[in-house]
């Protein structure tokens, strides 16, 4: 598909962090101290440990209690703000190219989002590739959602959010639930989502020099470990190919410097064409999942606040069975 142009569903958000903060973040992302993302032979385990160590350096925010439990057979971390309702749940799917990441690596980000939304957030440690390729991760997210339905939580009291590959899982989980005839949650928020595993977006190349986190080669390696090339266009692998009709409201956030910018634009356009209430926010000068560095960037804190407002506005509003 060709690159999409900005549409009425797209909002450009000006950078509020200041040049110095953005410059310092760029230096950090180009330094040896950034989390490792390599997945070539012999590097996968080191990268997983590196992401977890990075996450452990940034503790949860005050006012949010983090506990762990096994739910639907999955290790999960639960972030509970002091003002959270017991009957509302945010399922957060972490990023990492389906190969990396964990609830530990995303503790600070999720605790900030749980606090902003005032909703208990559950982060599953879904199965990773290459040990557990597609559809293992998707099966896990669907199973966890079913678990909460079985516990008596109404679909209208459940919302989804996730970053990067986790943003993919937000959309593919919605598509799978629709395919299976299950009631859908109240809303979804894909952050910097990877929506086209075939890497068909123009910004995969045009933003390659500006994106200091992802590269076309790294995405290719992630995709190759997640699923065979013959399934790249499966809607449950690349949600860009899915039928979005009937999905709940979506808020999509993406940075202007990301190679996945076109993925976000194209999937937002596809959702809008299907009649889904969708808003795309393109954040000026931001890198991939800048929310992860909210401890440094004002824009990270503002973006999480906007997601929190979106989730609060939609939870409890969607009719069961719609």
Active site residues: 164, 258, 288
Contact (CB, 8 A) for 222 and 228: no
Pairing state between β 64-71 and 74-81: antiparallel
CA distance 270 to 272: 5
* CB-based contacts of 66, cutoff 8 Å, min separation 6: 60, 77, 78, 79, 80, 107, 111
| Count of other CB atoms within 10 angstroms of residue 39 | 21
* Distance (Å) of CA 93 to CA 27, 29, 31, 107, 319: 28, 23, 27, 12, 24
CA dist 158 → 86, 96, 145 (Å): 11, 23, 9
For 32, 58, 145, the CA distances from 154, given in Å and listed in that order, are: 46, 33, 11
Collect all residues with Cβ–Cβ distance below 8 Å to 140 and sequence separation of at least 6: 72, 74, 124, 126, 127
| DSSP-based three-state secondary structure for 254 | strand
């Amino acid at each position: 598909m060709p690159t999409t142009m900005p549409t009425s569903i797209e909002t450009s958000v000006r950078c509020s962090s200041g040049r110095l903060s953005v410059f310092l973040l760029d230096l950090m992302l180009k330094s040896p101290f950034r989390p490792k993302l390599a997945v070539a032979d012999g590097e996968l385990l080191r990268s997983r440990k590196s992401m977890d160590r990075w996450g452990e350096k940034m503790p949860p925010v005050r006012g949010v209690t983090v506990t762990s439990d096994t739910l639907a057979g999955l290790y999960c971390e639960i972030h509970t703000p002091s003002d959270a309702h017991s009957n509302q749940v945010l399922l957060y799917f972490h990023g990492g190219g389906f190969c990396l990441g964990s609830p530990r690596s995303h503790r600070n980000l999720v605790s900030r989002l749980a606090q902003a939304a005032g909703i208990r957030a559950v982060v599953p440690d879904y199965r990773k590739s290459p040990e557990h390729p597609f559809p293992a991760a998707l099966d896990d997210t669907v199973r966890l959602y079913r678990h909460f339905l079985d516990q008596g939580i109404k679909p209208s009291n459940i919302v989804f959010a996730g970053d990067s590959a986790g943003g993919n899982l937000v959309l593919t989980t919605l598509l799978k639930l629709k395919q299976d005839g299950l009631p859908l949650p109240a809303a979804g928020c894909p952050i910097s989502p990877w929506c086209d595993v075939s890497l068909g977006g123009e910004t995969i190349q045009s933003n390659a020099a500006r994106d200091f986190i992802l590269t076309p080669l790294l995405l290719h390696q992630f995709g190759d470990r997640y699923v065979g090339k013959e399934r790249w266009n499966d809607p449950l692998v690349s949600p860009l190919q899915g039928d979005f009709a009937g999905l709940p409201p979506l808020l999509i956030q993406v940075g202007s410097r990301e190679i996945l910018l076109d993925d976000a634009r194209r999937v937002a356009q596809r959702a809008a064409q299907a009649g889904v209430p969708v808003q795309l926010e393109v954040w000026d000068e931001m890198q991939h999942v800048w929310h992860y560095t909210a401890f440094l960037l004002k824009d990270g804190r503002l973006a999480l606040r906007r997601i929190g407002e979106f989730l609060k506005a939609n939870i409890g509003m969607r009719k069961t069975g719609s």
